[in-house]
Structure 1
């Protein structure tokens, strides 16, 4: 598989997370929400989150949620 194909799959999976009921349930189980934001929103949201004391979760924080090789 080409790197560009893998990248496209990751983008599709990521954008689909907000509509994935299993992802939403898992997030809610941990008191989190999965939101649909644009790239431009991310820096603004990080600043707000830092001011509010909210933990922003990155892939290295919970790698089991970010397995790009998992086709499911």
Structure 2
């Protein structure tokens, strides 16, 4: 039961990372289309926050994979 839950969390985290990458790309495209200093500042803060979230999700995925290899 525990292993199944961890596997689901792992898949969900992978999908979240993919979604975050798409959202960052969409924000960049919108900023390129309508560039203003305010939009650029908002984009920079959004990218920074999403990068931090992505880092920790990737770290959790790596830890999960390492634990599965030990089992």
Q: Same fold (TM over 0.5)?
A: no
Q: Which protein has the larger Cα radius of gyration, Structure 1 or Structure 2?
A: 2
- The one of the two structures with greater contact order (alpha-carbon pairs below 8 A, sep at least 6) is 2
Q: Which has the higher helix share?
A: 2
